[in-house]
Amino acid sequence: MKSLAVVLALTMASPGGAEADLGNTRFEAFAVDLKRSTPRLIRDGDRVIHRVGSSCYMWRLSFSPTEQPVELRETLTLPGRAPSWGANPSTTVAPNMSSAETMVSADGRTGHASNQWCIAAGDPQGLYRFDVHSADKLVGSVKFYLKKNW
In the predicted model, is pLDDT for residue 59 greater than 70? Answer: yes
Q: What is the pLDDT of residues 8-30, one digit of tens each?
A: 223 233 334 456 778 889 999 99
pTM more than 0.85: no
User: What is the CATH number assigned to the segment(s) 2-12+23-147?
Assistant: 2.60.40.1930
pLDDT surpasses 80 at 6: no
* Dist. CA 44–CA 42, nearest whole Å: 7
Instruction: Give the start-to-end residue ranges of the domains of the chain.
Output: 2-12+23-147
33-54 pLDDT, tens digit each = 888 778 899 999 999 988 898 8
For 98: left if phi > 0, alpha if psi spans -120 to 50, otherwise beta; the answer is: alpha
How much is the pLDDT for 131? Answer: 97
